[in-house]
Structure 1
Amino acid sequence: MSPSIRFVPITVLCLLLAACFETFPPVSSAVVTHHQGVKPQGATQQLSPEQIASVSAWLQDHRWGWYPVTATYGPGILILATHADGTLFRINLMQKVLIVGQHQRSLSKEESRELHSMIGTKDDR
């Protein structure tokens, strides 16, 4: 096989892998609202600096496996977060899917439990 023919599949593979990689700036503050259906349940909870650091670290440690949001999801546990530069973004934590801004990622049972534990909520699985 000629070198130029080998280059094409390698290039396509690199492009596909790059589409699954996301980086998220550190979170500087965040509040959590629980939803049932589309209605908020209970009071909004401010995350502690330790919880914020844990969520930021988790997002940095899980940069692979992200895809553009492909559906409209109702809110589960909605986290309104602020980056250090003041920009706002939403994190929607559901049982099997995590949505951050316009990106989504499937969650294993362990990942879901880990995230729920970080923010002090129960995973209903």
Structure 2
Amino acid sequence: MFMQAVVIEVQRNRLLVLDLETRQNVLVNTPVARQFRPGDFINIWYNGVMTRSIPPQITALRITAAQPSLPMPCPPNGCAPGIRPPVLWPPILLPPPGRPPAGRPPDHRPGGPNRPGRPR
């Protein structure tokens, strides 16, 4: 199996990445984790086994550096040598805020809706 991802965090012998296809975080077990830095685009080959944990985990068979599919933006005055621009791609999309359920709001008065003396 093959995955294209962006490195989010580098840990000892593992990487936390964002899978560009599914937009989910994945923990990648690999002895070459320290070769990469947050913001690096990488190609990952793995055997197809992924845990059902949160985040899911895989063991990499091979990892190579990749070029981003879209150019990384620099400020209008350009990027200084040796300084990487912030990771703006891929965008992290949040779900829209939820709405409260329709209908009458709950009765939060002491005793609740079934308090004595209340007509039914």
Rg larger in structure: 2
For the criterion TM > 0.5, the same-fold answer is: no
Which TM-score tier does this pair reach, normalised by the shorter chain? Answer: under 0.3
TM-score by length of 1: 0.23
TM-score by length of 2: 0.23
Higher relative contact order (CA 8 A, sep 6+): 1
More helix by share: 1
